[in-house]
Amino acid sequence: MIEINGVTKIFGGGSDAFTALDNLSVTIDSNEFFTLLGPSGCGKTTLLRVIAGFIDPTQGTVQLDGENLVEQPPYKRPVNTVFQSYALFPHLTVAQNIAFGLQMLGRPKSEISSTVDEMLTLVQMAPMADRKTSEISGGQQQRVALARALAPRPKVLLLDEPLSALDFKLRKEMQLELKRLQHETGITFIFVTHDQEEALTMSDRIAVMNAGTIRQIGGPRDIYDHPAERFVADFIGDTNFIEVELVNTSADTARIRLISGKEIDARANPDGPKAGSKVTLAVRPEHATLVDEGEALLPGTLSDVVYFGTDTHYHVALDGGGGDFVVRRQNQPDMAQSRQTGARVGVTFPANVGQVLRD
Residues of the chain with CATH 3.40.50.300: 2-225
* pLDDT at 5 > cutoff 90: yes
Q: Is CATH 2.40.50.100 what the domain over 238-357 is classified as, yes or no?
A: yes
Beta carbons within 8 Å of 222's beta carbon, 6+ residues apart: none
Report which secondary-structure segment, H or E, holds 219.
Answer: none
Strand pairing class (298-307; 188-193) = unpaired
Give the per-residue pLDDT at 273: 63
Averaged pLDDT, 292-315:
93
**Superfamily the domain 2-225 falls into:** P-loop containing nucleotide triphosphate hydrolases (3.40.50.300)
Averaged pLDDT, 122-133:
90
Q: What percent of the chain has pLDDT over 70?
A: 97
Q: What is the distance between the alpha carbons of residues 273 and 14, in angstroms, rounded to a whole number?
A: 38
Beta carbons within 8 Å of 79's beta carbon, 6+ residues apart: 51, 52, 53, 64, 69, 154, 155, 156, 157, 158
Residues of the chain with CATH 2.40.50.100: 238-357
CB distance 212 to 56 below 8 Å:
no
The one-letter amino acid at 225: D
Q: What is the distance between the alpha carbons of residues 340 and 334, in angstroms, rounded to a whole number?
A: 17
Compute the C-alpha angle 215/68/159, nearest 5°.
55
Q: Which pLDDT band, with edges at 50, 70 and 90, does 311 fall under? A: very high
pLDDT digits (tens, 9 = 90+) for 143-158: 898 889 888 899 999 9
Q: Which pLDDT band, with edges at 50, 70 and 90, does 30 fall under? A: very high
* pLDDT at 87 > cutoff 90: no
* pLDDT at 49 > cutoff 70: yes
Give the per-residue pLDDT at 45: 94
Strand pairing class (253-257; 263-267) = antiparallel
How does DSSP classify residue 239?
A: -
Compute the C-alpha angle 265/353/273, nearest 5°.
55
